[in-house]
Structure 1
Amino acid sequence: MRIAFMGTPEFAVPTLNALAAAGHDIAAVYSQPPRRAGRGKKLSPSPVHARAEQLGIELRTPVSLKGAEEQAAFAALNLDIAVVAAYGLILPQPVLDAPAHGCLNVHGSLLPRWRGAAPVQRAILAGDQETGVMVMQMEAGLDTGGVRAAATTPIARKTSSELTQELAAMGADLMVQVLADLPAYPAQPQPSEGVTYASKIDKSETRLNFGQDASAVERQVRAFYPSAWFEYDGQRYRILKCDVTEIAQELGPEGMVMDDRLTIACKSGAIHPQLIQRAGKPAMSIGEFLKGNKIPAGVLL
């Protein structure tokens, strides 16, 4: 099929690779423009941008698709279909309508649960037992289109990074499967019940909230990996992995360090960090960390 691929982050790269490997005619790749990143604030291309250049595919990085000129340029590609994976720009109706078979999206949740920008993190935070990936026929609403195919996976104790990589690979395989026989996968309307929205992650959410149950704090660590943090003595510390441990609440208030192993009391239960990182330092096991960093019992974090 003659395809335009539209994606930006690492999540989208496996789908681009799979489309190329399957022999589809990728007429153009759309990705968001390079952003300034790192200490030097240099312009950095997105992962999809970089991969498209490696594959030698025409690359387009418009700031918006709302203008008539950009829409005409898209329509001029004479596409059979457009494949979208975490592109990050709204597709206006003329873009949705331009390909002969419309636009298909790889979405990392079990729709209609977790429509929106951060489905993986929201599923972990909510304590969902499973999630998955779906190939959806796009329409004007936010992730409201009919579903052509789905695959599921247990969340278990996966971090958002691990789960995103898994869903990206699953979504790539599923998209290739659908495109190989499009009529065999008709779009099925989403249920009207069970709709939830996965709002974009705000940086303030990544600060660990010990006023929750320990299990909820542990989910924060996994959902915001590797950025969940607490502060002590003016320094930020990231917890990259932790265990939940039962502890009587009367032993200490929320956020108190309970012992010399850095066990931290929560609303109920406690967490025990396993992997921790001080700002500007490498990640360490809790044993290695405590040899050179003392956070004494009785401190409130």
Structure 2
Amino acid sequence: MTLRIAFMGTPDFAARSLAEIAAAGHEVVRVYTQPPRRRGRGQSEQKTEVHQLAEILGIPVHTPKSFKDPEVIADFEALDCDVAAVVAYGQILPQAALDAPRHGCLNLHASLLPRWRGAAPIQRAIMAGDDVTGVQIQQMEAGLDTGPILLSESVKIAPEDTSGTLHNKLRDAGALMWSRALSALERGSLEAVAQDEAGATYAKKISPAEARIDWNRPAEELVNHIRGLSPFPGAWFELGGEKGPVRVKVLMAEKAGESGNAGEALDDQLTIACGTDSLRLTRLQREGKGVMAAEDFLRGTPVPAGTKLA
């Protein structure tokens, strides 16, 4: 028996799950995703990654602006789905939507709940120095990532992982979980385990101000800060120039043993003093330029010893 499934998702992280669910032979009767948005220099309207894949697979796509619209909910109820699979959709579903499929809505989340509920679990795990995270499929409730856990997979965070590489690990591991979860749902053997509220932490959205590098922090913390924000939105500092300060993103750095005044270049090779120890910046991106290795960056933008970074 195959399940009648509605899929809800938006970015590349979700598209991988849609591909796996469709490949497993289930009947995906409709895909919901965010409306097309204008992007890039030409501001051309672009469909989401999930939207593009759904069209390739021949699955009808709906892009409602809000699931709170009674007509949207009524139309969703009329699909007569067994279950909805939700992955990084980008909308909060009201209770009427959560209750519409026979088995409710299942959500794939990129952390080991209840740690890192919310919008930025991948970035927050690295920024906090976690050495393990994971992906889980949970039964959705009205609360933010509060529902019981149905299936779980742990993933180690390597010292060299950035939010970009960890994103891909979790995307692929999570996508492969859907076949097991949906097969267990068909058999009636999918067991729900309640979350321990005492261990809950929240992964709030990254603000531009928060991404700024505070050189007074220990170098070890800043390595994690930089990794967690690489490649997007990118940890940044300001470097003085002839026409005023220039914003520079740091996409990779390593801890160094030297010490000095926080934020000051200790040599001409981008070794920068921190609150404790120092950082050697190894991969950077000057505003309006491409990503460069440190040696290439320094050819165009020398940073001599004694330079103060803000």
TM-score, with structure 2 as normaliser: 0.93
Q: Could you tell me which of 230, 238, 241 is aligned with 2:237? A: 230
SS at match of 2:197: coil
Worse overlay, 77-86 or 180-189: 180-189
Aligned to 1:205: 210
Please show how residues 143-222 of structure 1 align to structure 2 within 5 Å.
143-157=145-159, 158-182=161-185, 183-222=188-227
Q: Could you tell me which of 67, 70, 73 is aligned with 1:71? A: 73
CA distance, structure 1, for counterparts of residue 36 and residue 229 of structure 2: 24
Please show how residues 282-293 of structure 1 align to structure 2 within 5 Å.
282-293=290-301
Question: Per-residue CA shift, 1:134-163, capped at 9, x if unaligned?
Answer: 000001111000000100111122110111
SS at match of 1:71: helix
Aligned partner letter, 2:129: G
Aligned to 1:116: 118
CA distance, structure 1, for counterparts of residue 291 and residue 96 of structure 2: 48
Aligned to 2:302: 294
CA RMSD of the aligned region, Å?
1.1
Gaps of 5+ in 1: none
Are 2:27 and 1:25 aligned? yes
* TM-fit CA distance, 1:281: 2.2
CA distance, structure 2, for counterparts of residue 57 and residue 215 of structure 1: 47
Question: Per-residue CA shift, 1:87-126, capped at 9, x if unaligned?
Answer: 0101111110010110000000000001111111111111
Aligned partner letter, 1:204: A
* TM-fit CA distance, 1:219: 1.1
CA distance, structure 1, for counterparts of residue 42 and residue 157 of structure 2: 37
SS at match of 1:287: helix
Aligned partner letter, 1:178: A
CA distance, structure 2, for counterparts of residue 228 and residue 10 of structure 1: 22
* TM-fit CA distance, 1:192: 2.2
- Retained in 1: the 8 A contact 2:81–2:102? yes
TM-score, with structure 1 as normaliser: 0.96
Question: Per-residue CA shift, 1:2-50, capped at 9, x if unaligned?
Answer: 1000001111111000001101100000001112221222222111111
- Retained in 1: the 8 A contact 2:269–2:303? no
Gaps of 5+ in 2: none
Q: Could you tell me which of 13, 16, 31 is aligned with 2:18? A: 16
Aligned to 2:52: 50
SS at match of 1:184: coil
SS at match of 1:203: coil
Aligned partner letter, 2:132: E
% same residue: 48
SS at match of 1:83: strand
CA distance, structure 2, for counterparts of residue 170 and residue 235 of structure 1: 39
SS at match of 1:169: helix
* TM-fit CA distance, 1:280: 2.3
* TM-fit CA distance, 1:279: 2.0
CA distance, structure 1, for counterparts of residue 95 and residue 292 of structure 2: 50
CA distance, structure 2, for counterparts of residue 175 and residue 117 of structure 1: 21
CA distance, structure 2, for counterparts of residue 186 and residue 293 of structure 1: 57
Aligned to 2:109: 107
CA distance, structure 2, for counterparts of residue 262 and residue 192 of structure 1: 44
Matched positions, count? 298
* TM-fit CA distance, 1:201: 1.1
Aligned partner letter, 2:178: M
